[in-house]
Every structure is written in C-alpha cells, then in structure tokens.
Amino acid sequence: MSSRFSSSATIAFTVALFSVGTAQAQSGSGIDVISDSLTLEGTVRSVLDANPGITSLEELANAASGRLAQTRTGFLPQITGTATYTRIDPVVKIPLGAEPFQIAPNNNYDAHITAQYLLLDFGKSEATVQVAEAQVQTARDNVTVSRRDLAFNAAQVYYNILFLRESIKVQDAQIASLVAHRKEMEKRVQGGVSTRFDVTTTDVRITQAQNTKIDLENQLRNQQVQLARLLHKPNQADVPIKGRLTFEPRPVDVNAEVAKGLENRPEIKLARDAENTATLQQRLVERSNLPSLGVGGQVGTKNGYLPQLNQLRFNTVGVLQLSVPIYDGNKNKNQRVEALANARSANARTQDTQEQVRADVRQAANNLEASQARYANAEQQIAQATDALTRAQGRYRYGVGQNLDVLDAETQLAQARLARAQAMYNYTLGQYQLKRATGEQIW
C-alpha cells in the first residue's frame, strides 16, 4: 500500500504540474523590485509588464500602422525639387560669319520643382489602404492573443505554487501524525506490549512520506524558478506570492459560453481578420489591371535657349497622362486565381476555428464538472478516512488491532486530502481554461 501511494502521488503531481504549457520568455531586466507578496492579479500584471515579447508584438502593430499611413500618401500630391548641372563637350557649332554659331551651351543648368497627382485609378489606392487597415487589425489581435496566453501561463504557475504549498502541508500533517504514532509505539515497546517490528514499519512509512515531501519541495522550487523567468528576474528564484486554493463552484451554461466564445475568442477574430484581408487582397488584384489617370506640372529655370544660350530662363511644363494596361502575360489573371484560392482557404480556416472554439468550451465545461464531482468525492473520502483512522488507532491502543491498519489509515487519509487539493487545483484552473476558451480576459 505504501509503495503504491508513493508512486501514484508522484505520477499525479507530475501530470498536474508538467502537462500544463508555460510561456517561453527571453532574458530581460523585467521588474527591479517586488516589494510585497504578489496576488494572482499582481502576478499576471507583473508578467505582462515584464515580457519583451509583448513589446515586440506591439511594435510590430505600430509598424503596421506606419505602413497604413504610407499607403494613404497615394491620395496626396507628390512634389519633388531637382537641380542638375551637365557639361557637354563637344557641342555642335555651325560656321556662320566670323564666329561659328553654337546651338547648345557647354555648361547646362536646370533647377525645377515637379508636382504629380493621381486623379483616377478606379479604386486601386483605396483597395491598397483597406488591405493595410486589415493588416493593422491583425497585428493588434496578435497582441491580444499573446497577452491572453501569457496571462494564462502566469495564472497556471501561480496556482501550481499554491497547490504544491497545500500538498506540502498535507505531507507535514501526515509526517507529524506518524511521528506521534511512533512515540506511542516506543512506549508500548518499553512496556512489552509491542515489538520493534511495528516501530521499524512506522519508520519506513515516515521515510516514504518525507521522500514525497522532498519531491514536492523540489517541484515548488522549480515553479518558483519558472515564475521568476516569466517575471524576467532570473536571479530571484523565490518570488513571494500570497493566496490559497479555494473551491467556489458556479453553474455553467454551455450554450451561452459557446456563443460568448464565438463572439469574443481572439482566434476567431484573427481568422476573420485573415478572411477579410484575403477578400480585400482579391479586390485589390481585380483593380490592379485597370487604367489610371494622372496630372503633373513642372516649373523651374534653365539655360540653353536661343539666342542667349547661357542665360537662365523661367520655364513650365504640364502633363496629363493616361496609363492603360494592354497585355501583362496573364499575370493579373493568375493573381486573381491565387487571391480567390486564398479567400476560400481563409473562409475554411474560420469555420475550423469556430469548431475548435465549440470543442474547447465543451471540454472546459466537462473538466469543471468532473473536478466538482471529484471534490465532493474527496470530501467524502476524508470523512471516511478520518473515521477509519480513529477506529484503527483505538483498536491498536486496546491491543485488538494491528499497527499496519493504523499506517494504512494514515496513508488513506493523506491520499484523500491530496485528492481534495488536486480537485480544488483542477477546478480553479478549469475556470481559467473556460475563460480562455470563451475569450474572456483574465485581467
């Protein structure tokens, strides 16, 4: 029984703690001082503030906004100033009279300002702006997804620490009870009513309980290291946090939660962003092969005018230009095929994401229901194990029971208390899994 408890407890803790993914973080300075113990809200906010990955995504969103501003410049006139000097040798000279007639100067000067404006492009510029706007929204939604995932990972580590602390308390209580039982047996051995075998058997159980406590303490230290990493404080392995596991069940309306997830889940928003971008890109491709009409003007000064070739003179130029694509080797046709395929693909991804949201919500609700049932079962087990331990101790005290019965009852009580802590941990974490599935923000 004792070896079976030790193995099952180790497996339970390993599954509970290491099946949960944690955020990958890079080294950074993070928060310099943590003056007090962190609550869950403080932990999540500190992790979000310290993570450079969020800053990187926010800067990418800013870059997308910059590209959007660049596309809007297509609606404004473009003005440039140019000044050139050109030396020409030789130049054509016509022999007329005493001096030859020079038709161009050797030194050519030209300074002018050019203005260009696109009058009409049949919606190409507008379509380009709309694509850029969709890309900005996608970048912002990526920030939301990353913040959501990082906050959830911080909450996982936070509750891992609370769960391990509670488990260590259970082990301490079991060890204290076994030690007290051993002292009683020592007195019985001295009185000649018991043997050293009972004392040795109890010592084995105490050692096993201590080994389990050592494993729990090591896992607690590792979770503290992980929390310090999320906070980007690698030199602070023991980040102080406060709180305790609680069990506060609440009813779950699966249909309402599914509807909330379909409306608020950031993955849905990202899928719709991709669908919208693909549609806008398709519209842009359809307009890219249409004519465009633009005007331009130039004012400046230059030399080279007859008869005074070297005299700088004011000049103007006006342009009205119509560009009509005639043949592009079927490039636009193939671009349309690609854009249409991308639009269909984005639509399919949206449908798949919606099905994934429905499944995530239902699984989270099932996990909550199972954890609630396990908590009730653990409460019943604790009551039964406590009664069994009291009876086993009484029987052993009056010499009608065996020491092994007491040790087994101690182990069963510890298992029941650990099962209750596990159920509380699973239910609490399940609530945040449901929030994640429905797109509700943790903080």
The tokens describing 243, both together, are: 């709180």
β-partners of residue 300 are 112, 315
From the list 297, 309, 423, 306, the residue with the least C-alpha distance to 371 is: 423
pLDDT computed for residue 236 by the predictor: 64
Tell me the pLDDT band of 215, cut-offs 50, 70 and 90. very high
Q: CB under 8 Å to 38, separation ≥6 — which residues? A: 46, 158, 239, 240, 241, 242
Give the span between the Cα atoms of 187 and 185, in whole angstroms.
Answer: 5
The tokens describing 375, both together, are: 């908590």
Q: What tens digit of pLDDT does each residue of 103-134 get?
A: 889 999 999 999 999 988 888 889 989 999 99
Give the span between the Cα atoms of 152 and 159, in whole angstroms.
Answer: 11
pLDDT above 80 for 29: no
From the list 269, 253, 254, 248, the residue with the least C-alpha distance to 361 is: 254
β-partners of residue 315 are 300
Tell me the pLDDT band of 257, cut-offs 50, 70 and 90. very high
pLDDT above 60 for 244: yes
Using alpha carbons, list the distances in angstroms from residue 186 to 180, 202, 397, 402: 10, 11, 13, 15
pLDDT above 90 for 7: no
pLDDT above 50 for 9: no
Give the span between the Cα atoms of 396 and 402, in whole angstroms.
Answer: 6
pLDDT computed for residue 33 by the predictor: 36
Cβ-based neighbour number of residue 302 at 10 Å:
16
DSSP H stretches of helix in 295-330: none
Give the percent of the chain with pLDDT over 70: 90
Give the span between the Cα atoms of 343 and 276, in whole angstroms.
Answer: 8
The tokens describing 363, both together, are: 């699984």
Tell me the pLDDT band of 441, cut-offs 50, 70 and 90. confident
Cβ atoms of 152 and 436 closer than 8 Å: yes
From the list 163, 47, 169, the residue with the least C-alpha distance to 429 is: 163
Q: What tens digit of pLDDT does each residue of 279-338 get?
A: 999 999 988 888 999 999 999 999 988 888 889 999 999 999 999 999 888 989 999 999
The tokens describing 361, both together, are: 């919500």
- Average pLDDT for residues 204-214, to the nearest whole number? 93
pLDDT computed for residue 48 by the predictor: 87
Dihedral angle at the C-alpha atoms of 424, 425, 431, 435, nearest 10 degrees?
A: 170
Task: Report pTM.
Answer: 0.74
Strand order in the sheet with 292-302: 78-87, 107-120, 292-302, 313-323
- Average pLDDT for residues 150-178, to the nearest whole number? 93
